[in-house]
């Protein structure tokens, strides 16, 4: 039984209202508050992976702890510091949003930062400044932490990416034939989506094909194409559409870090990990990302571990202590002379 408090509130989102997919703009926002004093605590958003929702982190299994249970065990041991957590729901009809603003899916970055986190800060008086805000997640959630932080570096001071999508050349291209096969079978993206939604069981081949479609929706939206997205390949031949693929690469954390990575140089924590047997080869993307960030002067905490991509929630036990401790450091007040000189 938790010693802290789990509170679930419904947030009405202006950012998601009228989104192209007709997905709900009214969503549950679960918040965890630790026992004891709460005002002024750090606030960390825990970002779910593809096909996941925030509330999924609250459910443990007979052999696996939920996220709050893991955190409380670390807190009781003295390994973690008091912290509030929010678990956003950024699910879409396609299975996920990558926490990005897209003309094909909706404004999920704005929803996360300007609405969900802002609501929790107002309601519970936590967070409140960059030095008290963090992002963490795994898989697409890890990507979201990296991408949002590099787009809004002044809003946060700590991120943790567990097996986050990076180096798209290896991470995504191997699955392109999976969607091509579905398009051969069903005829069009609209027909594939219809078949997917009607399927009584979402099999692995279906989900992997849908993943490619979902990524196209956020990386290469196009109002002139079916479903408002441009596929990165020609449907008949499978030939890569170089102009579309270049749009994907603009969002690859490895590429994004080359232009925006230096903005994370003053972060209190940048944690990156991946398994040595990751089925999407994300350990190589993590290594490249870490190299680029370090070249930009970012102090990166990089780890690798002997496992794959799935079932690695236990890795949060590595990042939670580092994240909560970094965001609990005393705030440095400007010296009186510095204030006078800035006036």
> Are the C-beta atoms of residues 33 and 7 closer than 8 Å to each other?
yes
Helix H or strand E encompassing 106: strand 106-107
Rounded average pLDDT over 272-287: 99
Helices 189-198, 176-186: crossing angle, 10 deg rounding: 90
- 273-307 burial, b at 16+ Cβ within 10 Å, e below that, comes to bbbeebebbbbbbbbbbbebbeebebebebeebeb
pLDDT recorded at residue 1: 86
Mean pLDDT value of segment 300-314: 98
Measured between alpha carbons, how far is 112 from 105 in angstroms, rounded to an integer? 14
pLDDT score recorded for residue 61: 83
Q: What is the pLDDT of residues 70-94, one digit of tens each?
A: 999 999 999 999 999 999 999 999 9
Cα separation, 6 vs 220, in Å, equals 37
CA 51/CA 203 separation, integer angstroms = 13
Average pLDDT over residues 241-264: 98
Tell me what pLDDT residue 180 has. 98
Instruction: Read off the pLDDT of each residue in 294-311 and give the average, rounded to a whole number.
Output: 98
Mean local confidence (pLDDT), 199-219: 98
For 91-106, what is each residue's pLDDT tens digit?
999 999 999 999 999 9
pLDDT recorded at residue 38? 86
| 8-63 tens-digit pLDDT | 999 999 999 999 999 999 999 999 999 998 899 999 999 999 999 999 999 988 88
The string of pLDDT tens digits covering residues 125-177 is: 999 999 999 999 999 999 999 999 999 999 999 999 999 999 999 999 999 99
DSSP states of 17-47 as a string?
TT-TT---SEEEEEEEE-SS--TT--EEEEE
What percent of the chain has a predicted confidence (pLDDT) above 90?
94
Mean predicted confidence (pLDDT) in 314-320: 98
pLDDT tops 50 at residue 340: no
> Would you tell me how many other CB atoms lie within 10 Å of the CB of residue 65?
16
Q: Give the model's pLDDT for residue 335.
A: 58
List, in order of start, the domains of the chain with CATH numbers. Answer: 5-165+253-326 (3.40.50.1820), 170-249 (no CATH)
Structure confidence at residue 331 as a pLDDT band (50, 70, 90): confident
3-class SS of residue 296: coil
| Residue 296 predicted with pLDDT over 90 | yes
pTM (predicted TM-score): 0.95
């Amino acid at each position: 039984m938790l010693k802290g408090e789990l509170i679930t509130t419904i947030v009405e989102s202006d950012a998601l209202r009228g989104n192209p997919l007709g997905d709900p703009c009214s969503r549950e926002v679960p918040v965890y508050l630790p026992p004891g004093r709460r005002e002024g605590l750090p606030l960390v958003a825990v970002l779910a992976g593809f096909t996941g929702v925030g509330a999924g982190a609250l459910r443990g299994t007979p052999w696996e702890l939920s996220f709050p249970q893991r955190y409380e065990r670390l807190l009781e041991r003295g390994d973690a510091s008091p912290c509030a957590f929010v678990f956003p729901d950024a699910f879409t009809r396609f299975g996920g949003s990558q926490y990005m603003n897209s003309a094909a899916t909706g404004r999920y970055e704005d929803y996360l930062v300007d609405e969900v986190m802002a609501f929790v800060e107002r309601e519970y008086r936590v967070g409140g400044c960059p030095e008290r805000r963090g992002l963490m997640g795994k898989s697409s959630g890890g990507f979201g932490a990296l991408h949002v932080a590099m787009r809004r570096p002044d809003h946060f001071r700590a991120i943790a990416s567990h097996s986050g999508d990076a180096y798209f050349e290896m991470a995504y291209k191997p699955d392109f034939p999976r969607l091509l096969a579905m398009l051969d079978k069903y005829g069009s993206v609209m027909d594939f989506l219809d078949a997917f939604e009607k399927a009584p069981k979402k099999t692995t081949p279906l989900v992997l094909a849908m993943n490619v479609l979902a990524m196209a929706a956020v990386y290469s939206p196009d109002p002139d194409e079916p479903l408002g997205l441009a596929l990165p390949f020609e449907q008949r031949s499978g030939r890569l559409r170089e102009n579309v693929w270049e749009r994907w690469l603009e969002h690859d954390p490895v590429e994004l870090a080359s232009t925006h990575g230096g903005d994370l140089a003053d972060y209190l924590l940048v944690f990156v990990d991946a398994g040595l047997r990751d089925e999407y080869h994300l350990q190589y993307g993590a290594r490249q990302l870490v190299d680029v960030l370090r070249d930009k002067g970012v102090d990166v905490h990089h780890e690798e571990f002997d496992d794959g991509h799935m079932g690695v929630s236990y890795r949060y036990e590595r990042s939670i202590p580092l994240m909560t401790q970094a965001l609990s450091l005393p705030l440095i007040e400007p010296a009186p002379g510095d204030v006078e000189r800035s006036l």
